[in-house]
Structure 1
Amino acid sequence: MTEAERHRLMLDFLKDRPFASVRDLLMIVDASPATIRRDIQKLHETGAVRKVFGGIAAAEHLSALERLAAKPFEENQMLGVAAKKSIAEEAAKLVRDGDALIIHGGSTCHLFALLIANRNLRIYTNAMPLAAALWQKGSCQVTVAGGDLYREPGVIYSATAGPPEFYASKFFLGAQAITSAGMFESHPLIVRETEKLITRCDEVIVLADSRKFGLRARHQVMNLNRIGTLVTDDGLSDANHKMLTDAGIKVVIAPRRPE
């Protein structure tokens, strides 16, 4: 059983109860007590659970919309593919040869990165699936974050490290949800890493299909006025378009092609 599978079982066990003891976790996960304790520490560091005496306590329960927003990468990359490909193509037009870019994880950013993988670029990423894809399929220069791999969000993260010594003209990232209060994510670790990376770029460019405006997520990443450009599809409502432009965001609409 992989670490990601163990973590998923532990989190599923907590959905209907406020607490799970180490003994409970030993019953549902095929692992040693030492491995269970390491898993507890890792989940606690990401904010997915709270480590308490004798086990773990559940974080606040997510709403149905939040659970939809928090789908894992492997599942999420199969949703809204046509819109995401169109958004990725429009985002690629914003890149100039010679640019230094920061690219976060997520299915739309993954498609975008593949389109520019063989251009004359310097790319920094903390997303393991994206780094692997750029290594296999690209020729651009790639800098990868240092730290531990957190498999659930697919992020390489170090709790003790500061912002990287990498400066970018553009920071491309996705979003789990966007409202008038700002951009939100379901995993707290993504928020922490974004807060570091946002200090190392000139412009923030968000790639988010129009479905993200109907979702909610727990953790605020940034206010709308921190976003420079947002690329989305033509399913964006007039009300949401006005919300974005009123916040000073340049909105790029990618025409959706047939699924």
Structure 2
Amino acid sequence: MKKQHRYKDIVDYLKDTNLTTVDELVQTLNVSPATVRRDLIDLENQGVVRRTHGGVTLNNFVATQLSVQEKNQLFKAEKERISKAAAERVESGNSIILDAGTTTMEIAKNITHLPLRVITPDLRIALFLSEFKQIEVTMFGGEIDNASQSCVGEHARRLLQSIHTDIAFISSNFWSFEHGVTTPKEAKTALKADMMKCAEESILVADSSKYNSFSLFKVAELDQFSEIYTDSELSQEAREKLMSFNGKLHIL
């Protein structure tokens, strides 16, 4: 079993059990104790799980964010399904915001056939879309956040105060029914909130592995999004809670 598949299976198992042990994971994954321990160390370093004396549990509060390189390795298939469906919301001639993130990068890959105006803080998205002549790309500018390789700060916020777009696709590492969308950095919180304010509608794109986690700064409540795109690994309990919102929930 590939490492990334094991990571996903560990997270899924913890969503069902809340707390588990190395021995239980050995039986569930059918791998050696040494392999499980290495995987748990990796997941703990990424902030996904927390090891205790009694075993291991999901780390619901996350103080830091993963780097782009680390995010790229996680839940690729889910992100591809989410982004393909979300990209269908984009029409020829739209002006859209693509928030920084690996899922929004996948959305960018699915809209290259359309004439569009795209505003983004993400360096990778901007460089990728700049190759397509029918797409007008605007970068936020300002200070670069090393972890996400995207622009943050007051310079970026000033640009958003002067524009109005059709859709803002917002990404998030941390989202939950109780806490909404949160981030570990105050600068990103204000920027994401500004993206939502200047768009006709805001759409959240976030895979289910990030659900039920939260960090220090709140961006928005979930009911502030007109639509939410996530994947089919989202638990039935979470689905029932989220269906109570006025916005549309898309399970891919």
Output the TM-score relative to the length of structure 2.
0.70
Secondary structure class of the residue paired with 1:193: helix
Give the match for residue 122 of structure 1: 117
Give the match for residue 27 of structure 1: none
Q: Report if the CA contact (8 A) 2:68-2:102 is conserved.
A: yes
* Structure 1 residue 168 displacement after superposition: 1.0
Letter in 2 for 1:176: N
* Structure 1 residue 68 displacement after superposition: 8.7
Residues in 2 aligned to 1:197 and 1:67: alpha-carbon distance in whole angstroms: 23
* Structure 1 residue 226 displacement after superposition: 0.6
Tell me whether 1:82 sits opposite 2:77 in the alignment.
yes
Give the match for residue 166 of structure 1: 163
Give the match for residue 127 of structure 2: 132
| Displaced runs of 4 or more, over 6 A | none
Tell me whether 1:71 sits opposite 2:69 in the alignment.
no
RMSD after superposition: 2.1
Among candidates 113, 134, 141, match of residue 146 of structure 1 = 141
CA 1:69–1:230: 2 relative to 1, 3 Å: farther
Give the match for residue 197 of structure 2: 199
Give the match for residue 207 of structure 2: 209
Residues in 2 aligned to 1:114 and 1:164: alpha-carbon distance in whole angstroms: 27
Output the TM-score relative to the length of structure 1.
0.68
Structure 2: gaps spanning 5 or more residues: 1-57
Task: Give CA-to-partner distance per residue, 1:199-218, whole Å, 9 cap, x none.
Answer: 11011101111111142322
Letter in 1 for 2:195: L
Tell me whether 1:177 sits opposite 2:174 in the alignment.
yes
Residues in 2 aligned to 1:118 and 1:66: alpha-carbon distance in whole angstroms: 39
Tell me whether 1:234 sits opposite 2:229 in the alignment.
no
Q: Report if the CA contact (8 A) 2:65-2:147 is conserved.
A: no
Q: How many residues align?
A: 192
Give the match for residue 88 of structure 2: 93
Letter in 2 for 1:246: S
Give the match for residue 221 of structure 1: 219
Letter in 1 for 2:111: I
* Structure 1 residue 159 displacement after superposition: 2.1
Alignment of structure 1 residues 21-32 onto 2, 5 Å? none
Residues in 2 aligned to 1:236 and 1:165: alpha-carbon distance in whole angstroms: 37
Secondary structure class of the residue paired with 1:236: coil
Residues in 2 aligned to 1:233 and 1:68: alpha-carbon distance in whole angstroms: 24
